A and B are shown apart, each in its own frame.
Chain A
């Protein structure tokens, strides 16, 4: 038994044999052609282009039906590449002039195109390389007469392992019995990760070279929430994971009766349980899980899924579509949170030595006014279509909040002057994710309508631990005394000012902390849809005074470990009391 650690990209458990996807290295031969073969070679090349076009069109159709319109858009631009003279015309010219075989000509034409992007060294470029190479590989496969141009969706339950997957590979696989994804490369924001989250399939990415040693058929147990993969698991581990996987599958059924019940404690304290959403297809999962609305709508993926920023009108369509789908339930729209691990260099971001302390969140938005305003205008206009709240990321103090609200006012004045329907009175709140915002929460509370605590960043900044650095990962301690104090302080400041306080960070998705958050006084929790039923069950079982007493005890603990041990004791005792096994 061996355990690999990667980046937790999509939560959930899976036990299944591996299905290793290794794209054969496509060889480019570039054979010399006899003069009389040139015409036939061009014909062969054109046939490959036509076949590729059919394959991509079929994938686009499949995706349109399933989900993720963003993927369809990526593939549609690949279709235009197949008509591009720089690629296709140039390759044909090379076959003719140089008398080299189609594969060599194609590779050269693609390489020439990529050199045009050389001075645009950024993420945007890398994405385009992947798109263009995806098209090239597809053509090469057809030319070399490889079988299965597209990966076949697996028919048996399996965990897919691959170094990386192109958009079209992911699309092709997603239809089958995929129980999990393991990737050598990638990040939380890579394509597969996003797709996996939207499908509710666990995924661990960034596993590096360790992945190369894995064999087809190896049994693995995977915990997408922790980013852990157990190879050749012992029976005991296997059983545990199987139970967890079953539990997460069954929890829908087990908690189905809770779906339409409110999250209310026995002493009648109501806690709103909302969902964190990144892509529109997740909305349906969230509603099915009984979410009362969306507590955190991350707009980055909605906005960037096409590799560019859409116009105000396009954003409006997407946002209004989200509200439509929610049918009157509320949604908190967080304005673009780029920077940090979400660098978008084509927007002017640079490589920073300390991206988490750099140009991100509201700092970026205030500096990119046109972009900020196009998003705000779209949000204010969409607000006329349903209950929408606006939230700013990475606020460190009152000055940023005021500056952002001034931009909001400006947008509303413009919209009013242009006679465009909008709602200027939507609640405006802020993320509390910096220690400064938490410490100065009382000042911020006077100037906004709600708080939402982002625990990932708050913990990272408070404990000075880089959450992408595995060596300090142990310091991710939600019950660290400093973190607990900050959380309590934020909740108290909000209530003193009469505004609601919610949490939308990972801590809210961890069922074991539900009582703690209840005891701290959080009014709403926004979490992964799959966890909503479990947290609702906890809320319905726990009187507020009991949770408050627990928090009081935890706050007396000197270390996170002591607090966790105390919490464990409480949870075990509670389980015994409920006879819940």
Chain B
């Protein structure tokens, strides 16, 4: 299992749009991805779960990844949450 912490770069945190991007990315991996924040837990492949974490901009979320591609998934998700969420989704992704 891989564990990592990421600070949310999105200016408003995990609201629907950011959550949607995370879901789309998480679904490209086989691994199970769990995100924890402030005592709440969500599956990263669930948009409502992520949104209900109510994690704001700048808050640190814990990511737990378990599965065959866990390393790649962890790297990709940390990058998305802590860097790429600050800028818009590219067309077609």
Chain A positions within 8 Å of B, measured between CB atoms, are 73, 76-77, 80-81, 83-87, 113, 116-117, 119-120, 124, 128, 131-132, 306-314, 317, 346-347, 370-371, 374
Contacts and interface: CB of A to CB of B under 8 A. Distances in A.
B72 interface: no
A309 B11 contact: yes
A128 B47 contact: no
A240 B60 CA distance: 62
Contacts, number: 87
Given A80-B47, A81-B47, A311-B88, A128 B17 contact: no
18 contacts: A77-B16, A77-B20, A80-B24, A81-B47, A84-B47, A85-B46, A85-B49, A117-B54, A119-B54, A132-B48, A306-B16, A309-B12, A311-B86, A312-B86, A347-B12, A370-B11, A370-B58, A371-B11
Contact of B17 (A113, A119, A308, A374): A308
B63 interface: no
A76 B89 CA distance: 14
Nearest to A368: B11
A117 B47 contact: no
Nearest to B45: A85
Contacts of A85: 43, 45-46, 49
- In this complex, which of B16, B19, B45 has the most chain A Cβ atoms within 10 angstroms of its Cβ? B16
Interface in B45-63: 45-49, 51-52, 54, 57-58
B20 A80 contact: yes
Contacts of A113: 48, 52
A309 to B, nearest CB: 4
B80 interface: no
Contact of A317 (B10, B40, B46, B88): B88
- Among A86, A131, A132, chain B packs the most CB atoms within 10 A around the CB of A86
A311 B10 contact: yes
B86 A87 contact: no
B18 to A, nearest CB: 7
A73 B40 CA distance: 26
A346 B46 contact: no
Interface string B15-53: 111111001100100000000000010010111110110
Nearest to B89: A314
Contacts of A306: 16-17
Given A81-B47, A84-B47, A85-B43, A311 B87 contact: yes
Contact of B16 (A87, A307, A317): A307
B12 A308 contact: yes
B85 interface: yes
B12 to A, nearest CB: 4
Contacts of A370: 11, 57-58
CB-based closest 5 A-B pairs? A314-B88, A308-B15, A116-B52, A313-B87, A80-B47
Nearest to B10: A311
A308 B16 contact: yes
Contacts of A84: 46-49
Contacts of B17: 73, 77, 306-308, 310
Nearest to A118: B52
User: Counting chain A CB atoms within 10 Å of each CB, which of B9, B19, B20, B43 scores highest?
Assistant: B20
A368 B19 CA distance: 22
A86 B88 contact: no
Nearest to B84: A311
A117 B87 contact: no
Nearest to A82: B47
Given A124-B15, A314-B88, A346-B15, 13 more contacts: A80-B24, A84-B47, A84-B49, A86-B43, A113-B48, A116-B52, A117-B51, A120-B52, A128-B51, A309-B11, A310-B11, A311-B86, A314-B87
Contact of A80 (B11, B23, B57): B23
A314 B85 CA distance: 10
Contacts of A116: 40, 48-49, 52
A95 to B, nearest CB: 19
A308 B18 contact: yes
B32 to A, nearest CB: 11
A131 B12 CA distance: 19
B48 A86 contact: yes
Contacts of A311: 9-11, 85-88
Contacts of A374: 11
A285 B90 CA distance: 29
A421 to B, nearest CB: 16
A211 B19 CA distance: 37
B91 to A, nearest CB: 10
Contacts of B49: 84-86, 116
B73 to A, nearest CB: 17
